[in-house]
Amino acid sequence: MGGKIISRGSCVGKALLSKKPISFLGGVDPDTGTIIDEHSDIRGESIKDKILIFPRGKGSSVGSYVILQIKKNGVAPKGIINEKAEVIVAIGAVIAEIPMLEMRSLEIFDFDGHTNLRFAEEEIKLIKDGEMIKLNATGHQRLSGYIEVLNGNGNGNG
Sequence letter at residue 88: I
How far is it between the farthest Cα atoms of the chain?
A: 40
Specify whether the CB–CB gap between 142 and 8 falls below 8 A: no
Catalytic residue among 40, 60, 61, 64: 60
Q: Is 26 left (phi over 0), alpha (psi -120 to 50) or beta?
A: left
Closest C-alpha to 133, from 116, 154, 119: 154
Whether 105 is catalytic = no
Residues with catalytic annotation? 60
